[in-house]
Structure 1
Amino acid sequence: MAIRAPYRSLRGISAVAALLAIGAVGCSDVTDAVDSAKDSAKKVARQRSVFSLDVGDCYNPNGKAEGTAYTVEIVPCDEAHEGQVVGEFAIDDEGKEYPGDDGVSTIADTRCPVEAQKYAPDTWALPKGVGLFYYTPTKESWATGDRAVSCTYTAENGTFSGSLDTAKSLKPEQATYLKGSNAVYDALWTNQPEKETVEEDLAGYKAQAKAVAAALDAHVKGLDGIEGTEVGKLRATLTKAAGNWQKAADAADVDAFYIAYDPAFTDIDPNMSVAARKELGLATTVPADEAEVWAG
């Protein structure tokens, strides 16, 4: 399996070998060597094949460079670790042939965000610096029947502690809010046209606007059943936003699209939802990458 993450061939050292290597040294050195050997032995005992990863597993990759991986160190989630498996799925192998590295990555790019949100719906609550990575089949493992993709949240630098499994602890109103909110931004980014300007692809941008408008309509309906002053204010804002996204979707020309798009985009600024999130008891810090987009 391959991952946008580390690889290093596994090389363990037993406690006996470590002790034989220290020679005639002081007691403190011996103690340090024993402790080091114990740590090494523990790490070896925790090694698991990437083919047997399960959702919920917390782990440390064996290395720091992106490439092919065969094993990872499984650790208790309350210990500091670099990643956690938050979703998994099998690639449809109807065509039988390996889709290619880019093809497999495209599938994972599409499916992993969906699977991850089932496990950790509130992306605002993720530890700082954690990103979505995945283990996927290689051409060689595909030939042996490997079709599994393991989706992980992995720290790009450093470690984090605790499980990211928050779905089970959500209250009904929190889950409803997150389902609707996530769908809105998924519609925005997954339907992003390849062309950089509306002039180059008006039809593509109108299709995106249609998808966002539909997601907003569903989100607003979900919010209808949730009480709260700030939630009510957000509902009103998003209702207006949905109308403008629909106007953009129906635009007869580029100028009409821009007139509707500017307020439509502004009204789904994540900062608009901070007060409602606080009222619902959800995370209130806008992720840096999202804040940057709406900062201009």
Structure 2
Amino acid sequence: MKKARLATLAALLLAGTVALTGCSQLMGLIADNPPVRDADTSEITEGGDLDVFTLSVGDCFDDQSATEVSEVPVVPCTQPHDNEVFHDFTVDGEEFDQATIDAAAEENCGGQFDVFTGIAYDQSVLDWSTLAPTPGSWEQGDRLVSCIIYEYGVRTVGTLAGAQR
């Protein structure tokens, strides 16, 4: 059942991140609705739209239904949200290889899940997925994989760090 939920979210996130090609060209542009971060903690204190390449561990955001995503609506984690970035890492390599990215995600995101939540993945109601490079964004230098945690069908309030569920 959990793998089916993971596959469903992965498909939704993939639909939302397909065609990130060219998104790095947008990195220098200022969003129409930028979020506000606390100067000391860097936590988002006022929601807004954030470039997918500038998401940070601890950022909370909502799902997107668009087929091309260059930014996501982030919110303070104290407000209802769909996803939280719980880990990120970069992938090395000259050529885009989806299998390599998937294996690295399994190792890195899967390996950090229990550290972040305080419970083993197979005992948890929570799932994880990724925002990862596409062939087009890879060509433009994108190597960042963001590990995303969520509870299928539930809008979370607060962080899932240490949730133990």
Change (3 A) 1:110 1:42: closer
Residue 90 (structure 2) pairs with residue 90 (structure 1) = yes
Separation in 2, partners of 1:113, 1:68: 26
Aligned positions, number: 127
TM-score by length of 1: 0.38
Q: Alignment partner for residue 16 of structure 2, among 7, 25, 29?
A: 7
* AA matched with 1:48: L
Q: Report the alpha carbon displacement of residue 120 of structure 1 after superposing the two structures with TM.
A: 2.4
Q: Report the alpha carbon displacement of residue 90 of structure 1 after superposing the two structures with TM.
A: 0.6
Q: Which runs of 5+ in 1 are unaligned?
A: 9-40, 168-282, 286-296
The 8 Å contact of residues 85 and 153 in structure 1, kept in 2 or not, is answered as: yes
Aligned partner of 2:59 in structure 1 is 57
Aligned partner of 1:163 in structure 2 is 159
* AA matched with 2:108: R
Aligned partner of 2:102 in structure 1 is 105
Separation in 2, partners of 1:145, 1:98: 10
* AA matched with 1:152: I
Render the CA deviation track for 1:61-93: whole Å, top value 9, x for unaligned: 222x7x653211111111111010000111122
* AA matched with 1:53: L
Separation in 1, partners of 2:84, 2:119: 15
Q: Report the alpha carbon displacement of residue 123 of structure 1 after superposing the two structures with TM.
A: 4.3
* TM-align CA RMSD: 3.1
Structural mapping, 1:133-282, within 5 Å: 133-166=129-162
What's the % identity of the aligned pairs?
25
Separation in 2, partners of 1:104, 1:138: 10
Separation in 2, partners of 1:49, 1:58: 13
Separation in 2, partners of 1:123, 1:58: 22
Render the CA deviation track for 1:151-187: whole Å, top value 9, x for unaligned: 01023213111112229xxxxxxxxxxxxxxxxxxxx
Q: Identify which of structures 1 and 2 has the higher relative contact order when contacts are C-alpha pairs closer than 8 Å and 6+ apart.
A: 2
Q: Report the alpha carbon displacement of residue 131 of structure 1 after superposing the two structures with TM.
A: 1.1
The 8 Å contact of residues 83 and 152 in structure 1, kept in 2 or not, is answered as: yes
Normalized per residue, the structure richer in helix is 1
- Over 4 Å off, 4+ runs: none
The 8 Å contact of residues 57 and 86 in structure 2, kept in 1 or not, is answered as: yes
Change (3 A) 1:98 1:84: same
Change (3 A) 1:118 1:84: same
Aligned partner of 1:241 in structure 2 is none
Separation in 1, partners of 2:120, 2:61: 20
Change (3 A) 1:53 1:122: same
Change (3 A) 1:127 1:121: closer
Separation in 2, partners of 1:68, 1:136: 13
Q: Which runs of 5+ in 2 are unaligned?
A: 1-8, 18-32, 36-46
Aligned partner of 1:78 in structure 2 is 78
Separation in 2, partners of 1:157, 1:150: 20
* AA matched with 1:7: G
* AA matched with 2:107: T
